[in-house]
Amino acid sequence: MSHPRPLAILFDLDDTLWPIAPVIVAAELSLHDWLARHAPKVAQRFSIAELRARRMALLESQPELAVDLAELRRVGLRAVFELAGEDHAHIDGAIAHFLAQRNAVTLYEDVLPALQAMKQTLRLGTITNGNADLAAIGLESHFEVMLAAAQFGRPKPDPAIFLAACAQLGVAPRQAIYVGDDLHLDVRGAQQAGLRAVWLNRSGSSAHLDAGIVPDAICASFAELLRWLEGQLAAQM
């Protein structure tokens, strides 16, 4: 089946524009140090691992919190502050500290040059289930549309969030391409909404074969993505 000329490209954020695991590890360590200074009863009673385990248990019991990961962390902190007998007045400060550290990301080296090249011919946007702040990170100027599940109210892979991003960009889903690292949330979610989907597979994994998901393209880097896009644009000239 032929595709119309792509007019827009949308991106996942975590593990697509930057690696997220080391950022979260550093942010949680920094948060625990902050708690030791401002809410010592919590820091003394709960280790980083224990706080994480409690948060995962909370998510299992209240899956609706998955739409807003900052709120999940806030609810988790509220519970441990209560158990430790700590002053709840410090919860807002703890969340603010964590989010500042969480936004201290380091882009993959190939991202900025590719974004700057894509902006010449395509409209750019982002869709994320996470709580990254593109303004704080310094990337806001690259994107016309930035949708986060926490604000939209429905997370990927729900087709609604992909359709809303396309509507905000003023393009039909079939005129848009979505790029992400997660086969289910990104590739399958985007395809079910009528977008083409590129799996950014930096690790060389063959997980798509086991998952039975067929991306429209598989790219190992943004440089490779850029070459694929150039081919798509050239084919429609």
Q: Are residues 129 and 220 in the same domain?
A: yes
Is residue 219 in some structural domain?
Answer: yes
Instruction: Please say which residue of 102, 129, 159 terminates a domain.
Output: 102
The reply to whether 184 and 143 lie within a common domain is yes
Same-domain status, 124 and 192? yes
Query: What's residue 4's pLDDT?
Result: 87
81 lies in the same domain as 92: yes
Task: Provide the mean pLDDT of the chain.
Answer: 95
Residue 3 lies in a domain: no
Strand segments, DSSP code E, in 80-205 are 123-128, 145-148, 176-180, 196-200
Point out the domain boundary residue: 85, 102, 119.
102
Cα separation, 176 vs 196, in Å, equals 7
Same domain for 71 and 140?
Answer: no
Query: How far, rounded to the nearest angstrom, does the alpha carbon of residue 80 sit from its chain's CA centroid?
Result: 27
Identify the CATH number of the domain in which residue 171 sits: 3.40.50.1000
The pLDDT value recorded for residue 1 is: 55
CB 130 within 8 A of CB 150: no
Instruction: Look at residue 28 and tell me if it is in a domain.
Output: yes
- Per-residue tens of pLDDT for the chain, all 237 residues: 568 899 999 999 999 999 999 999 999 999 999 999 999 999 999 999 999 999 999 999 999 999 999 999 999 999 999 999 999 999 999 999 999 999 999 999 999 999 999 999 999 999 999 999 999 999 999 999 999 999 999 999 999 999 999 999 999 999 999 999 999 999 999 999 999 999 999 999 888 888 889 999 999 999 999 999 998 888 765
14 and 129 in one domain?
yes
Q: What is the pLDDT of residue 50?
A: 97
pLDDT at 189: 97
**Which domain range does residue 120 map to?**
8-19+105-235
pLDDT at residue 193, as a whole number: 98
pTM of the predicted model, to two decimals? Answer: 0.93
Domain count for the chain:
2
Residues 72 and 117 in one domain: no
Co-location of 208 and 109 in the same domain: yes
User: Domain of 71: which CATH number?
Assistant: 1.20.120.1600
- Whether residue 1 lies inside any domain: the answer is no
